[in-house]
Amino acid sequence: MAVPCPRLSGRAMYTDVTVVENRAESETVSSLFFDRRFKARAGQFLMLWLPGVGEKPYSLSYANGITVKKVGPFSNALASVKSGTRLAVRGPLGKGFSQMPGRVLLIGGGCGMAPLRLLAQQVEEPLILLGGKTADDILFLKEFQGRGEVKITTEDGSTGKKGLITELLPERADYAALCGPEPMMAASLKLLSQERTKVFVALERYMKCAMGLCGACTCSGYRVCVDGPVFSAATLIDMRDFGWRRRAKSGRFEPVSGGVSCF
Amino acid sequence: MAVPCPRLSGRAMYTDVTVVENRAESETVSSLFFDRRFKARAGQFLMLWLPGVGEKPYSLSYANGITVKKVGPFSNALASVKSGTRLAVRGPLGKGFSQMPGRVLLIGGGCGMAPLRLLAQQVEEPLILLGGKTADDILFLKEFQGRGEVKITTEDGSTGKKGLITELLPERADYAALCGPEPMMAASLKLLSQERTKVFVALERYMKCAMGLCGACTCSGYRVCVDGPVFSAATLIDMRDFGWRRRAKSGRFEPVSGGVSCF
Amino acid sequence: MPTRLVEIHPPLVNASGIFSYLDVFIRLEREGVCLGGFVTKSIGPAERSGNDNPVVFDTGYGLLNSLALPTPPLEQWLAEFEGADLEKPVIVSIFGFSADDFADLVNRLDRYALAFELNLSCPNVQPGEQSLMGMLAESPDQVGQVVAAVRGATDKPIIAKLSPNTDYLATAQAACQAGADYLACSNSLGPGLAIDPGLSCTVLPGGTGGLTGPPLKPISLAMVYKLYDLLPLPIIAYGGVQCWQDAVDYFLAGASIVGLGTCFARKSTAEVVGLTWDIWRGVLEYLDGRSLSEIIGAGHVH
Amino acid sequence: MPTRLVEIHPPLVNASGIFSYLDVFIRLEREGVCLGGFVTKSIGPAERSGNDNPVVFDTGYGLLNSLALPTPPLEQWLAEFEGADLEKPVIVSIFGFSADDFADLVNRLDRYALAFELNLSCPNVQPGEQSLMGMLAESPDQVGQVVAAVRGATDKPIIAKLSPNTDYLATAQAACQAGADYLACSNSLGPGLAIDPGLSCTVLPGGTGGLTGPPLKPISLAMVYKLYDLLPLPIIAYGGVQCWQDAVDYFLAGASIVGLGTCFARKSTAEVVGLTWDIWRGVLEYLDGRSLSEIIGAGHVH
Ligand SMILES: Cc1cc2nc3c(=O)[nH]c(=O)nc-3n(C[C@H](O)[C@H](O)[C@H](O)COP(=O)(O)OP(=O)(O)OC[C@H]3O[C@@H](n4cnc5c(N)ncnc54)[C@H](O)[C@@H]3O)c2cc1C
Ligand SMILES: Cc1cc2nc3c(=O)[nH]c(=O)nc-3n(C[C@H](O)[C@H](O)[C@H](O)COP(=O)(O)OP(=O)(O)OC[C@H]3O[C@@H](n4cnc5c(N)ncnc54)[C@H](O)[C@@H]3O)c2cc1C
Ligand SMILES: Cc1cc2nc3c(=O)[nH]c(=O)nc-3n(C[C@H](O)[C@H](O)[C@H](O)COP(=O)(O)O)c2cc1C
Ligand SMILES: Cc1cc2nc3c(=O)[nH]c(=O)nc-3n(C[C@H](O)[C@H](O)[C@H](O)COP(=O)(O)O)c2cc1C
Ligand code: FES
Ligand code: FES
Q: State the DSSP H helix or E strand holding residue B177, giving kind and residue range, or none if neither.
A: strand B175-179
C134: DSSP letter: I
- Give the Cα separation of D261 and B214 in Å (integer): 10
What is the reported pLDDT for A257?
78
Q: What percent of chain C has pLDDT over 90?
A: 94
- For residue A196, pLDDT over 90 is answered with no
Task: Give every CB contact of residue D267 below 8 A, 6+ residues apart in sequence.
Answer: B212, B226, D275
Average pLDDT over residues D96-100: 96
pLDDT in tens, D224-280: 999 999 999 999 999 999 999 999 999 999 999 999 999 999 999 999 999 999 999
Contact B66, B46 (CB under 8 A): yes
D221: nearest CB among C60, C195, C214? C195
Q: Touching check for B6 and chain C: CB below 8 Å?
A: yes
Is there a contact between C264 and A212 if contact means CB atoms under 8 Å apart? yes
Q: Which pLDDT band holds residue B7 (cuts at 50, 70, 90)? A: low
Here the ipTM equals: 0.94
Q: Which pLDDT band holds residue A80 (cuts at 50, 70, 90)? A: very high
HSE-CB of A106 using CA atoms within 13 angstroms? 30
- For residue D45, whether the previous peptide bond is cis, meaning omega lies within 30 degrees of 0, is no
Q: Which pLDDT band holds residue B261 (cuts at 50, 70, 90)? A: very low
D122 is catalytic: yes
Q: Which pLDDT band holds residue A4 (cuts at 50, 70, 90)? A: low
- Do at least 3 CB pairs under 8 Å connect A with B? no
Mean of per-residue pLDDT scores for chain A: 92
pLDDT in tens, A45-79: 999 999 999 999 999 999 999 999 999 999 999 99
- Give the Cα separation of A126 and A124 in Å (integer): 6
Contacts of A51 in chain C (CB under 8 A): 196, 199, 201
- Do at least 3 CB pairs under 8 Å connect C with A? yes
Task: Give every CB contact of residue B234 below 8 A, 6+ residues apart in sequence.
Answer: none
Residues 165-224 of C with CB under 8 A from A: 194, 196, 198-199, 201, 203
What DSSP string runs through chain D? --SS----SSSEEEPTTSS-SHHHHHHHHHTT---SBEEPPPB-SS-B--PPSP-EEE-SSSEEE-----B--HHHHHHHHHH----S-EEEEE--SSHHHHHHHHHHHGGG-SEEEEE-------TTPPPHIIIIIT-HHHHHHHHHHHHHH--S-EEEEPPTTS-HHHHHHHHHHTT--EEEE---EEEEE-EETTTTEE-BTTBEEEEESGGGHHHHHHHHHHHHHH-S--EEE-S---SHHHHHHHHHHT-SEEEE-GGGTT--HHHHHHHHHHHHHHHHHHHTT--HHHHTTTT---
Contact A225, A47 (CB under 8 A): no
Average pLDDT over residues A173-180: 95
Three-state DSSP class for C97? coil
Lowest-pLDDT range of A195-204, B16-25, C13-22, C40-49? A195-204
Average pLDDT over residues D202-207: 94
User: How would you class A12 by CB atoms within 10 Å of its CB: exposed for 0-12, middle for 13-18, buried for 19 or more?
Assistant: middle
Is there a contact between B7 and C244 if contact means CB atoms under 8 Å apart? no
Ligand 1 geometric centre to CA of A263 (Å)? 10
Q: Give the chain C residue whose CA is nearest to the CA of D194.
A: C218
Protein residue with its CA nearest to atom 44 in ligand 2: B206
Mean of per-residue pLDDT scores for chain C: 96
Is there a contact between A4 and D243 if contact means CB atoms under 8 Å apart? yes
B:C CB pairs within 8 Å = 28
> Cα–chain-centroid distance for residue C279?
18
Average pLDDT over residues A147-165: 94
- Give the Cα separation of C122 and C119 in Å (integer): 7
pLDDT in tens, D112-159: 999 999 999 999 999 899 999 999 999 999 999 999 999 999 999 999
Bridge partners for B255 per DSSP: B245
Is there a contact between D64 and C218 if contact means CB atoms under 8 Å apart? yes
What DSSP string runs through A114-126? HHHHHHHHHSSS-
Supply the pTM of this predicted model.
Answer: 0.95
Contact D99, D152 (CB under 8 A): no
Bridge partners for B172 per DSSP: none
- CA distances (Å), origin B222, targets A263, B235, B238, D262: 67, 9, 10, 18
- For residue C243, pLDDT over 50 is answered with yes
Average pLDDT over residues D157-169: 96
Neighbour-count burial for B129-148, b at 16+ CB within 10 Å, e otherwise: bbbbeeeebbbbbeebeebb
What is the reported pLDDT for D302?
53
C27: nearest CB among A208, A212, A222? A222
